[in-house]
Structure 1
Amino acid sequence: MLVFVIPLKSAKVSNSWERVTQLFERCIKSVCNQTSPNFHVIVVCHEKPKIEFTHSHITYLTVDFSPPNETNPVAKGDTDKGRKILKGLIYAQQFSPTHTMAIDADDCVSKKLAQFIQQHPDSDGWVINKGYKYQEGSKYVYIKRRNFYKMCGSCNIIRYDLNYLPESAEYNRGYGYYRYYIDHGKVRDILENKGKAIKSLPFPGAVYILDTGENLFDNSKRLKFNIFNRKLLNQSVKDEFGLYNLQQSQNICQV
């Protein structure tokens, strides 16, 4: 079984909780659109978002540790993300996962992931080397042909034991304690140094959503797109990744 872990930022540190909720709802719909029922989703949050979408494979895990404060908000936010991923990974044990995948709460993923993992239960894992970039409202997606995992946090599918979870997890530590769960671009090299060479996923696995106004890091510099990597956001892409325009969806709901 593949267990997805989604760390959701707190309403107290969001620029717009409404926007965060919209992005998250699209993300969770995408994750739950798997072609195989052999998956579960753990959402780790301070406040449970109010969305209409429900699914029997979702667990909301609320935490009581303090959200980030305004002093060095990026570092604090990163640590908060690491705490939540660790919390979710430990909680995932009860579902007996073969693999886990951390998902940023605004990204979308391929509906083929759970089925693929089900077919390779003993593999050490995969990195998403190839994926898509998308700017909200665009008619296009842009293929990132390599090193997608160095750009987007929704990128590592790891055999459960290779998460190297601490025997007694602590949630009041600093950034360094959670680094393995945060530094997504370094996981492949870390595992390779341990003799666990995880592979590249053989298909585009995720869509990196850019410039939402709620990204932990400013990724607007990654909006420079190569026209030769451009692909129309057609129905096939929408169906596989559950990707839809939030503004259009909001307008439809208001009609």
Structure 2
Amino acid sequence: MSTAPHLTFVVPIRHPQNARDWALEKANLARTARSIAGQTAPGWRAVVVANEGADLPPLPAGFEVARVNHPPNPGHDLVKTDRQAAWAVFRRDKGRRVADGLRAAGASRYFMIVDGDDLVSNRLSAHVLENDGANGWVFESGWCLDADGRFAMKLTERFEKVCGTSHILRADLFALPEPETPGYWERVELMLGSHVRVAGQVAQEGRPIAPLPFPGAAYLVGHANAHSLSRGVLRRYFLNGNLVRQPAATLGQLRHLHRVGPAFRQEFMGAPD
């Protein structure tokens, strides 16, 4: 590109040995890439970070691949490992992949980390372009989407606590020290390896980010490769013990459950084939 993009999406992909089903990993990435490529405004690009030799699907125009040589994540399988220890290793592994992606991308006004099985609104690039100069945005609302794409649950608060695809930051807010200098890995794990504390951290540093004024992403659940071993939408929110313990509250959530239709597909799933 002749000029730096105003928004760069960074998509870290796990080591192939950490995927239960690599064909599914590729299919999810293809769907994520098509979602990103559906942006209604130009001036964006995307960087997929993947291991050398990892087989990737064809990617749309605007994408590039940054190849890395990181080993498999030994704590990736949360079923077989202590959960807290596993998350600590996961933050390091994801964080260094994202850091590699940021360096490979070079200059960009804003960056967004996108998990390789999530979808994004096609309005993001336009919103960033129209609000240039802002610190960034946190996605307090979004969607929880079944892997089969039939049902979506609208989450109206704290979306950024459950979905890693939930922040857009101006480049300088990452404030990464030089690699291998004091504080480097702590910053990488905090800002790039996890989504939970990002908004609070930049606010503490005096540069708060604003809530995105529309649902910005869809969190894919219920597939075999999901990092958090998440259940599908119906099991996650309705077909569980809460239906017996809190029937009124659980049934009240039905107003947020939607069958996926053309408008959702157009905004989050890219142009039809």
Q: Assess same fold via TM > 0.5.
A: yes
Q: Note if contact 2:40-2:123 (Cα within 8 Å) is conserved in structure 1.
A: yes
Give the 3-state SS of the residue equivalent to 2:148 in structure 1.
coil
Of the three residues 8, 14, 34, the one matched with 1:3 is 8
Corresponding residue number in structure 1 for 2:208 = 197
Corresponding residue number in structure 1 for 2:243 = none
Q: Are residue 86 (structure 1) and residue 99 (structure 2) matched?
A: yes
Give the 3-state SS of the residue equivalent to 2:192 in structure 1.
helix
Give the 3-state SS of the residue equivalent to 2:196 in structure 1.
helix
Of the three residues 241, 263, 268, the one matched with 1:236 is 263
2:31 corresponds to which letter in structure 1?
R
Stretch moving more, 123-132 or 67-76: 67-76
Give the 3-state SS of the residue equivalent to 1:134 in structure 2.
strand
After superposition, residues 99-138 of structure 1 pair within 5 angstroms as 99-137=110-148
Q: 2: distance between equivalents of 1:232 and 1:221?
A: 14
Number of corresponding residues: 240
Of the three residues 214, 218, 232, the one matched with 2:225 is 214
Q: Note if contact 1:78-1:175 (Cα within 8 Å) is conserved in structure 2.
A: no
Corresponding residue number in structure 1 for 2:57 = 51
Q: Note if contact 1:75-1:175 (Cα within 8 Å) is conserved in structure 2.
A: no
Report how far residue 215 of structure 1 moved.
1.7
Q: 2: distance between equivalents of 1:176 and 1:126?
A: 19
Report how far residue 75 of structure 1 moved.
4.0
Give the 3-state SS of the residue equivalent to 2:226 in structure 1.
coil
Q: Note if contact 1:90-1:165 (Cα within 8 Å) is conserved in structure 2.
A: no
Provide the alpha-carbon RMSD of the alignment.
2.3
Give the 3-state SS of the residue equivalent to 1:208 in structure 2.
strand
Q: Which has the larger radius of gyration?
A: 2
Identity score, percent: 24
Q: Note if contact 2:90-2:193 (Cα within 8 Å) is conserved in structure 1.
A: no
2:94 corresponds to which letter in structure 1?
K
Give the 3-state SS of the residue equivalent to 1:26 in structure 2.
helix
Change (3 A) 1:236 1:61: same
Q: 1: distance between equivalents of 2:72 and 2:12?
A: 12
Q: 1: distance between equivalents of 2:149 and 2:187?
A: 37
Of the three residues 66, 71, 77, the one matched with 1:66 is 71
1:5 corresponds to which letter in structure 2?
V
Q: TM-score w.r.t. structure 2 length? A: 0.81
1:59-105: CA deviation from partner (whole Å, max 9, x where unpaired): 10010122213684554333211110111112222xx3111000000
Report how far residue 182 of structure 1 moved.
2.0
Q: 2: distance between equivalents of 1:174 and 1:198?
A: 23
Q: Note if contact 1:237-1:243 (Cα within 8 Å) is conserved in structure 2.
A: no
Change (3 A) 1:16 1:91: same
1:163 corresponds to which letter in structure 2?
F
After superposition, residues 160-175 of structure 1 pair within 5 angstroms as 160-168=171-179
Corresponding residue number in structure 2 for 1:187 = 198
Report how far residue 198 of structure 1 moved.
0.4
Change (3 A) 1:201 1:107: same
Q: 1: distance between equivalents of 2:55 and 2:36?
A: 16
1:224 corresponds to which letter in structure 2?
Y
Change (3 A) 1:76 1:218: same
Runs of 4+ in 1 over 3 A off after TM superposition: 47-50, 70-78, 173-177
Structure 2: where are the runs of 5+ without partners?
1-5, 239-252
